[in-house]
């Protein structure tokens, strides 16, 4: 009997290529999945050759994941609509600022029985509230969408160092399928039903990591950094309560997508690294992104601006002093040491209610 399912991956950066290594290996062991995994690649010219051609001949993404071979059943294509053709399971892993343009390019090309999973660590926050990537994907493609996030630095996963991740999926049977595509002995998957909570944690931890990077840039040590991480984690939880109320489960913050991801990102992620360089060099974040990230995008800087727009327009910025200070340092030229201004906030009465801080 022919396989009834087919996976495609939309996005071929550092994280997308790492996901392709895992999925490409796993589908070969799943009889109900087609062995070929198409990955959409934004074609670039590297050393005179198209990146898609390099991936398909050398089986390596030499720009975004050098030194790590991709399975030979992972096939790079430059057209997103071609990548999703006949796909039943769509993995979306691109910078969040590009998501709508990508979805518009494949609208009407997706199977009606397809489903998707977002590996994007970003959310859209405006004066009116929060829109997650799964909501944007569902709204555009009209298919069920899960989310995956965790303490997942891509290069370490590509090196097959043990770690955990969290899948948020509201359908238990579908969660099992997604887990089968991602779970390995070194990449352990835990499934929860809180789709939005998984996404929310994955996006907001990048803002906390920017604050941690400021501390590293000022050379203030581990005690100070731990304090910033703790306060940032509690502000994440508080903002989740305010925006979504009971839709986000408090237990989600104890999953890999929550506390563990905050810790690893504040010690090893690119948001931390660039924030440190921001303090040391005085260069603006967009310039550092161009100079240091090899085409990757900085999420924490953008999310800090989106978060501030929401809390400021809602009149609750005083309840989020760390997020407010990080925004002021990034966007308003405040000195990095102003990160400590007003951090004596009482979180003890925070509970899961629609508006706990008002």
Residue 205 is a catalytic residue: yes
Closest CA to 218 of 267, 276, 170, 262: 276
Enumerate the H helices of the chain as residue ranges.
Answer: 14-27, 51-58, 80-84, 99-106, 133-141, 154-158, 172-182, 195-218, 221-244, 261-268, 270-281, 285-292, 299-313, 321-331
C-alpha distances in Å from residue 120, one per residue of 91, 92, 97, 146, 199 = 10, 7, 10, 11, 8
Shortest CA distance to 263 belongs to which of 298, 297, 228? 228
- Which one is catalytic: 6, 121, 205, 225? 205
CA distance 40 to 316: 41
Phi, psi of 85 (to 5 degrees): -60, 125
CA 316 to chain centre: 26
Q: Which residues are catalytic?
A: 205
């Amino acid at each position: 009997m022919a396989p009834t399912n087919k996976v495609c991956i939309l996005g071929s950066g550092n994280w997308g290529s790492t996901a392709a290594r895992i999925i490409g290996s796993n589908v070969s062991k799943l009889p109900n999945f087609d062995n070929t995994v198409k990955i959409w690649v934004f074609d670039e010219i590297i050393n005179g050759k198209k990146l898609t051609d390099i991936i398909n001949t050398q089986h390596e993404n030499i720009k975004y994941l050098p030194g790590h071979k991709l399975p030979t059943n992972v096939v790079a294509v430059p057209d997103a609509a071609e990548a999703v053709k006949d796909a039943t399971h769509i993995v979306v892993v691109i910078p969040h600022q590009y998501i709508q343009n990508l979805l518009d390019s494949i609208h009407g090309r997706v199977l009606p029985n397809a489903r998707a999973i977002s590996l994007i660590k970003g959310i859209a926050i405006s004066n009116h509230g929060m829109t997650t990537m799964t909501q944007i994907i569902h709204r555009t493609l009209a298919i069920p969408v899960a989310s995956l996030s965790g303490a997942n630095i891509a290069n370490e996963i590509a090196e097959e160092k043990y770690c955990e991740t969290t899948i948020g999926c509201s359908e238990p049977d579908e969660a099992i399928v997604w887990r089968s595509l991602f779970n390995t002995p070194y990449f352990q998957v835990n499934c929860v039903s809180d789709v939005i909570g998984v996404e929310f944690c994955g996006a907001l931890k990048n803002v906390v990591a920017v604050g941690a990077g400021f501390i590293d840039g000022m050379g203030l040590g581990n005690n100070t950094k731990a304090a910033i991480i703790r306060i940032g984690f509690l502000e994440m939880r508080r903002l989740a309560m305010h925006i979504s109320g009971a839709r986000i489960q408090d237990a989600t913050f104890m999953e890999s997508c929550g506390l563990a991801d905050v810790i690893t990102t504040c010690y090893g992620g690119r948001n931390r690294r660039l924030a440190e360089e921001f303090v040391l060099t005085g260069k603006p974040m967009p310039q550092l992104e161009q100079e240091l990230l090899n085409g990757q995008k900085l999420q924490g800087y953008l999310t800090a601006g989106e978060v501030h727009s929401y809390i400021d327009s809602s009149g609750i910025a005083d309840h989020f002093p760390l997020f407010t200070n990080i925004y002021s340092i990034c966007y308003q030229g405040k000195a990095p040491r102003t990160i400590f201004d007003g951090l004596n906030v009482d979180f003890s009465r925070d509970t899961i209610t629609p508006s706990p801080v008002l």
